[in-house]
Structure 1
Amino acid sequence: MSLIVVTGAGGGIGAAVCARLLEDGYSVLATDLAPEPALAKAPSLATAYAEGRLSYLPVDVTSEQSVAALEEYLRQLGRPLQGLVNCAGIVHTAPLLETSYADWKRVNAVNADGVFLVTREVAWLMLEQADTDPTNSRGIVTVSSNAATTPRTEFGAYGASKAAALQVSRSFGLQLAAHGIRVNTVCPGTTRTPMVTDPWDGQDLSAQPIAGNPASYRLGIPLGRIADPQDIAEPIAFLTSPAARHITLQNLTVDGGATF
């Protein structure tokens, strides 16, 4: 059974991606910061975890040492590595004039440096397993954000970090294409995950991003709803699958038409 690594698996999108890939018959190695795999308690994942189709490894994507330990773990497994989904990410909301350098470095360390470190190590292992793949079946997908391409007043550091994640993924894709490894990005818009809903303090404030805020250069969401994690997991599952074997270096924005 082919293996796919998912970083940030404890988040809303990460957990949904794990569940969707398991449905497609993949074995999934979920990674996150937590020492224990809390995501295994989710009804959609508990059975797979008990059966061994879903495994867990704590990984800090901002630490080169921790990412190297992930690579060594994968090497020892000796399983065919089919793909990687970079879901690990954090948000920071403040205008740039009110953003500290510490906050700037923290959000870039997770959202940009983490994508570089993990993709680099996983790609090297893929090349070691098979230098070329004529079927182009192996895929890497990075979850960026529509804030990477549309500036917003409150998302200066976050948008810059996600733009870096998008660009480093494209650069990896250009280098790895000759080896039959595809690299694409998915840019979600507002999605109903704890990262978005926790600041709402128990209220349903989804009407605000749907309506938009011209003062913050936010266009609203023409489709009239914020995304569920499953809405993001579906295109990710497609891009990691052999069905997308002729797609690489592409960015798919999944935000209900909020940016275009």
Structure 2
Amino acid sequence: MTGLFDLTGRVALVTGSSRGIGSALAKALADAGATVVLNGVNPERLKDAETAMAAGFPPGRIHSVAFDVTDDDAAARSIRWIEDNVGPLEILVNNAGIQHRVPMLDLDVADWERVLSTDLTSAFLVGREAARHMIGRGRGKIINICSVQTDLARPTIAPYIAAKGGLRNLTRAMTAEWAASGLQINAVAPGYIHTEMTQNLVDDEEFNSWILGRTPAHRWGTVEDLAGPVVWLASDGSNFVNGQTIFIDGGMTVVV
């Protein structure tokens, strides 16, 4: 690959990338030339993911580091490991996230805090550690993975909605502090994406019909739909794009 979207020689970390959307985004960055570091909390599953992805690329292109993104010390150690053993980190995709479905009146505070810690605080912790290195070099890309729930709400997922709304403004806060140092920080907000983790929703006839009717494009999104925008935000093609949240939702958030 050549031109504005070529990532050859750039090191990228994608959190929560042993499966699902994170894995697809990691592969897209590697397809664009990046050297990619996968992340997850389950070392065995992560190593399996690294082995499977590495089979499609030249040796040394795919790495992995297992750590808990909600642990500030672990984040700092792991970013240093990447810098020392893989290369200068130029691209960070904050993708790690969880969901917890309970009506607010029944929601345990510990579950509220667990979702916010994983979906919002982790982006602050890992993003800050990455930025410490990026700022000194005067360049870097941070891409936060939001959701249509950044703007919209549904019953029973209050912590997720709060976290994704906060992540949009964290993206703006990072821009306010770090853009002058040469960093670009942006977010993508996927709509409903068909993955193995959402297969049960696709199979639910009532819910599937609601998604198709609610989405102007009249289909679920795919992980491939997210790949191009993320590669663009990771590349030189987006060097004057900063603090933006780009909705990739088939038009869901623009209609009533």
When normalised by structure 1's length, the TM-score is 0.87
Q: Deviations over 1:137-194 (max 9, x none)?
A: x311000111121111122111111111221121011211101100000011111123
Judge conservation of contact 1:13–1:230 (CA < 8 Å) in 2: no
2:235 corresponds to: 241
Q: Considering only aligned residues, what root-mean-square deviation do their CA atoms show, in Å?
A: 2.0
After superposition, where does 1:175-214 map in structure 2 within 5 Å?
A: 175-197=177-199, 199-200=200-201, 204-205=203-204, 208-212=207-211
After superposition, where does 1:29-48 map in structure 2 within 5 Å?
A: 29-36=37-44, 37-42=47-52, 45-48=54-57
1:216 corresponds to: none
Q: Deviations over 1:115-135 (max 9, x none)?
A: 01000000001123x1x34xx
Match of 2:74 among 59, 62, 66: 66
Change beyond 3 A, Cα 1:206–1:147: farther
Cα distance in structure 1, aligned partners of 2:150 and 2:205: 21
Cα distance in structure 1, aligned partners of 2:86 and 2:197: 34
Q: Secondary structure at the match of 1:234?
A: helix
Q: Secondary structure at the match of 1:4?
A: strand
Cα distance in structure 2, aligned partners of 1:196 and 1:248: 30
Which stretches in structure 2 are left out of the alignment for 5+ residues?
A: 1-8
Judge conservation of contact 2:41–2:68 (CA < 8 Å) in 1: yes
Judge conservation of contact 1:90–1:195 (CA < 8 Å) in 2: no
When normalised by structure 2's length, the TM-score is 0.88
1:26 corresponds to: 34
Change beyond 3 A, Cα 1:109–1:258: same
Post-superposition offset of 1:233? 2.1
Match of 1:161 among 150, 163, 182: 163
Change beyond 3 A, Cα 1:30–1:78: closer
Which stretches in structure 1 are left out of the alignment for 5+ residues?
A: 214-218
Cα distance in structure 2, aligned partners of 1:45 and 1:190: 28
Percent identity at matched positions? 30
| Residue 251 of structure 2 is aligned to residue 257 of structure 1 | yes
Post-superposition offset of 1:113? 0.8
Judge conservation of contact 1:112–1:161 (CA < 8 Å) in 2: yes
After superposition, where does 1:5-154 map in structure 2 within 5 Å?
A: 5-36=13-44, 37-42=47-52, 45-48=54-57, 51-77=59-85, 79-128=87-136, 130=137, 132-133=138-139, 138-154=140-156
Q: Secondary structure at the match of 2:237?
A: helix
